[in-house]
Amino acid sequence: MSYIPHTELDRQQMLAAIGVTTIEDLFDAVPASHRFPKIDIPPALSEYEIAAELKAYAEANDHAGNFAVFRGAGAYHHFVPSAVNHILLRGEFFTAYTPYQPELSQGTLQAVFEYQSMMCGLTGMDAANASHYDGATSLAEAVTVALDVSRFKRSKIVLSHNIHPQYRDVVRTYHQGRQIEIAGDDQPRSMADLAALIDDNTAMVAIQYPNFFGQIEDIKALAEKAHAVGALLVTVVNPVALGMLKSPAELGADIAVGEGQPLGVGLQFGGPYLGFFSIKQEYVRKIAGRIIGETIDSDGRRAYVMTLRPREQDIKRERASSNICTNQGLMALAACVHMSLLGKNGLRQVAELCYHKAHYAAAEIDKLAGYSVDRTLPFFNEFVVKCPVPVEKVNTALLEQGIVGGYDLGTDYPHLVDHMLIAVTETNSKAEIDALVETLGALS
Amino acid sequence: MTHEPTIYELSQPGRIGTNLPSLDVPKSDPLPADMLRTELMLPEVSELEVIRHFVRLSQLNYAIDKGFYPLGSCTMKYNPKINEDVARYEGFAGLHPLTDEAGAQGALALMYQLQQWLAEVSGLNAVSLHPAAGAHGEFAGILMIRKYHIDRGEPQRTKILVPDSAHGTNPATVTMAGLSVIELPADDKGDVDIEALKKVCEGPERDNIAGMMITVPSTLGLFERGILKIVELVHNAGGLMYMDGANMNALMGVVKPGALGFDVMHYNLHKTFSTPHGGGGPGSGAVGVNEKLKPFLPAPHVDIVEPGTDEEAPLYGFVTPEKSIGRLKAFHGNFGMHTRAYSYIRAYGGEGLHQVSRHAVLNANYIRVGLSDTYTVPYDRACGHEFVIEGHFEGVEKVHALDISKRLMDYGYHPPTNYFPLIVPEALLIEPTETETKETLDQFIAAMKKIAQEAKENPELLLSAPHKTPVSRLDEVRAAKQLVLCCAPLLKDT
């Protein structure tokens, strides 16, 4: 299979026009000693063979088509209406590039503008960017914004232990070259203990809402303490939970970031996903990445354009606060179409289905001998279960029943060995939940 | 083209575009009311209205599937349709990222094989698919270089050399990593000024040099003739060489960066390996390294954790290299892009990839020669897969590169990249890619020549362009001054 259209006659005519004899003559500047190495990759396959080979790879996986999925921990199996994929597959969207020429990109620009609007609607914030790579990188970029807001005079970042462990890892990776102190996430802490770490050197305090364990914490006092010393409060939020829960703005957040994957983006083994980033008006000019703004054309018609460009790396170069120069355009479009289809009532309904189904599952599991569900805090659609046997053993038994079980919390939290994190969404039927409970029961 | 209302303007209270399963379990006690929201500012629209809205929006876009898109430095080649199908196979699209390794062997095997092939194309030893975009890959590369020097007890090596023609991401990446930039000028032939480089590498900063970032072929579309000398000078000073692989489409089967002495590079899978960029993303910025930097690769990284036998396939798993710079995003990279890149490499094979680069270079040179009597080609020598021209004409001072670009739209083309590289006045960077036919290139050359003629005879035609697009020229200053970043306030009262 080849996508090169040239015929032998084309090549001859083109070479003659250029004034060389062979294509190889165009590579004189490449050191002769290193020119034209062999690439040791097997010969081309036909399209039919490619499809068959990839089908075999795909079917070697334990996927949601064949398994009931009760695993979340940052990636959730939600229902995606067919219309979302039909829009994504339009070549006018997926084969377009960054909208550098707005007159030819009004479709992408308006869709992203609407996406920004919806993220503002969900989070209660004043502005959102056109998206970052994923939820974890959004949090890392929030750190940069907070440091920048303090004019790099503050260097302490307080992170809750209850933020997704991989997100906290990413914050550390991103800022390893900077002289900053990351505090708070070395052990479980109450909100009061976390608040006690906030001082005049603190640029930012971050929590997750609902937290990594699915729980909804009372952060009022924390928000007050952060604001009292002039630090920013950042929340990492699950957008589906926002279908029913108070918005981050109502909690006092200055920045709300998170993973947009639950909004119409499939599981896809972890990517591409969609980091959303929303913020209060006063910090708009500090956001990294693309922002779409409304304007008019020379005939006075409403139109859209990438704006605040001078902040960006292509203009500011080494003085830019971030090197980010793409967004997750297609994923932002998926989220935009998804939220349009669901609307305010649909998203609320999804949130309520998740909530009630998760609580049904939790109640049934809690009744099982040897198992207990952590009910110390209210939870949304994900909860912690203490198991009577190692989680690995539980999950092996579940797989035999066609169920992908909960996430083994001992992997990231040594004090939670034998604890699993179970996520339930609207895709999990009562029959699936009952099968989960039955298999767990047989192990105790 | 009629004006398209926003989705919020289409909203009517009570409409919905999908339906959901009914609740099949008993209701639980609700959360306390003070935890619940009362307002949710999302539009309410039927499925048909949603479809029509986004289809109409799609028609306002220019895209590869509609026409020629010679956007230099962005490598807008055809996105094969089979790639979209395979990425949507349920076994990939429905695979949870935290699936136990035993249940994800298909995905892991694919990633491992892709890593091996990318390493082979570049002549480097190991590849990580973890970074989410080219700039993310750059960041991984520079963090590895930084950590390498710290690990060797040379933490004072904090300077990265960057040519003035480099992508803006390069210097921004250096800053993000906590290092600083020494900018290098180009000489009058468009190559890095070797004498200037020598001065830095042998001057007082010698022991502070962490490395150099360079794009090959350069952002001027030129292959650095002094590349081996550059690598030698930087290595002799104790620095490492980073290659920005944005232009890798010109190099497959032409030269292997690893063989030239590069220590680390990133690939833009969305450019060279045809994964679609969807109006701004996603991308995928795999990084390749030589033996020196292997222990520093970002985590996680796919490797064989149990060797296979004659009967059984090996067991693949995620590993964290010994001195890893750490995790740059959650989970394992943009896997959906890996499936597409894999499918693309399979469609060409090794010999085919080499033909890709040859034809990309052939097409670029054909346009370069075709335009050289009408436009100023500042570096008039054989180019790589792209080349730069000056978008202005003697005697018509008010016409700028931007005006030529806007006028090109009227002829049905996406314009080239404008005002980059920064070191060429009124730069237009043209990159046709290998998937375009000779007829398309001929028509484009003719349009560019026609515009040059119009510029002299009727410059107003260019200055007021575009005339045939959904909107006319935009007021970009107003967008920045009177910030309107969302339409939520337009939501009707419900």
In this prediction, residues A273-292 reach a mean pLDDT of 95
Structure tokens at B359: 């034809």
Contact present, A285 and A339 (Cβ < 8 Å): no
Chain B within 8 Å of A11 (Cβ-Cβ)? Answer: yes
Q: Which residue of B has its CA nearest to A13?
A: B438
Q: Do A13 and B362 touch (CB under 8 A)?
A: no
Q: Are B287 and B132 in contact (CB under 8 A)?
A: no
pLDDT of residue B493: 42
Give the residue carrying structure tokens 């064989």. B304
Residue A272 tokens read as: 């591409």
Q: Give the model's pLDDT for residue B490.
A: 45
Residues A14/B438, Cβ–Cβ less than 8 Å: yes
Closest partner residue to A267 (CB to CB) among B60, B94, B327 is: B94
Residues 202-221 of A with CB under 8 A from B: 216
The residues, ordered by sequence, that sit 6+ positions from B291 with a Cβ below 8 Å of its Cβ are B125
Taking alpha carbons only, the member of A301, A277, A302, A280 closest to residue A290 is A277
Q: How far does the CA of residue A238 sit from the closest CA of chain B (Å)?
A: 14
Say if residue A34's pLDDT is above 80. Answer: yes
pLDDT of residue B487: 85
Q: Using a CB-CB distance cutoff of 8 angstroms, which residues of chain B are in contact with residue A296? A: 474-475, 478
pLDDT of B305: 96
3-state secondary structure of A383: strand
* Rounded CA separation B194/A247 (Å): 57
Which residues of B fall within a CB distance of 8 Å from A108? 57, 61, 279-280
Could you give the CA distance from residue A171 to residue A15 in angstroms, rounded to a whole number?
52
What pLDDT sits at residue B494?
38
Q: Which of B395, B393, B389, B360 is nearest to B372 (CA)?
A: B389
Report field, pTM of the whole predicted structure over 0.90: yes
User: Which pLDDT score is estimated for A321?
Assistant: 84
Is the preceding omega at residue A239 within 30 degrees of 0, hence cis?
no
AA letter at B408 = L
Q: Report helix, strand or coil for B21.
A: coil
Q: Which residues of A touch B284 (CB under 8 A)?
A: 272
Helix (H) or strand (E) holding B437: none
Q: Touching check for A266 and chain B: CB below 8 Å?
A: yes
Using the beta-carbon criterion (under 8 Å), do A50 and B59 form an inter-chain contact?
no
Write the pLDDT tens digit of every residue in A400-415. 999 999 999 999 999 9
In the predicted structure, residue A430 carries a pLDDT above the cut 50: yes
Cβ under 8 Å to B: A residues 184-203? none
Report how far apart, in Å, the C-alpha atoms of B195 and of each of B201, B235, B378 are: 10, 16, 21
Of A101, A317, A430, Cβ closest to residue B171: A317
Q: Cis peptide leading into A210, omega within 30 of 0?
A: yes
Which residues, given as ranges, of chain B have pLDDT below 50? 1, 490-494
CB A408 within 8 A of CB A392: yes
- For residues B135 and B320, give the distance between their C-alpha atoms in angstroms, rounded to a whole number: 22
* CA-based max dimension of chain A: 84
pLDDT digits (tens, 9 = 90+) for A313-349: 878 888 888 888 899 999 999 999 999 999 999 999 9
Contact A169 B326 (CB under 8 A): yes
* A123/B contact by beta carbon, under 8 A: no
B17, A341 in Cβ contact below 8 A? yes
Residues of B in contact with A352 (CB under 8 A): 23
Find the mean pLDDT for residues A122-132: 96
End-to-end CA distance of chain B: 31
ipTM confidence score: 0.97
Report yes or no: B215 and B243 within 8 Å, Cβ to Cβ.
Answer: yes
Measured between CA atoms, the residue of chain A closest to residue B282 is: A328
Pairing mode, strands A156-159 and A181-183: parallel
At B435, which amino acid appears? T
Q: Which residues pair with residue B376 across a beta bridge?
A: B390
Across B271-326, where does the E strand assignment appear? Answer: 287-289, 301-306, 315-319
Q: Please write the tens of the pLDDT for every residue from B351-363.
A: 999 999 999 999 9
Interface probe for A, chosen from B42, B302, B460 (most Cβ of A below 10 Å), is: B42
Compute the 3-state secondary structure of chain A and give helix, strand, coil in percent, each to the nearest 5: 45, 15, 40
- The 3-state DSSP class for residue A296 equals strand
Contact A83/B51, CB-based, under 8 Å?
A: yes
- Tell me which of A9, A49, A57, A259 to substitute to probe the interface with B (most B C-beta atoms closer than 10 Å): A57
| Cα of B453 to nearest chain A Cα, Å | 22
Placement of tokens 């001998």 in the chain: A369
Check residue B2 and give its pLDDT.
57
- Give me B481's structure tokens: 């001054």
Distance from CA of B399 to the nearest CA of A (A): 18
Is A315's Cβ below 8 Å from some Cβ in B?
yes
Tokens encoding A183 = 């505090």
Say whether residue A432 is in contact with chain B using an 8 A CB cutoff: no
Q: Which residues of A touch B147 (CB under 8 A)?
A: 176
**A32–B contact, CB cutoff 8 A:** no
Tens digit of pLDDT for each residue in A195-216? 999 999 999 999 999 999 999 9
The owner of tokens 């959650």 is B330
Distance in angstroms (rounded) separating the CA atoms of residues A186 and A66: 38
**Cβ count near B315 (within 10 Å):** 15
Residue B62 in tokens: 């220019």
Q: Which residue of A has its CA nearest to B117?
A: A41
Going from the C-alpha of B440 to that of each of A206, B68, B409, B411, B434, the distances in angstroms are: 53, 7, 15, 12, 12
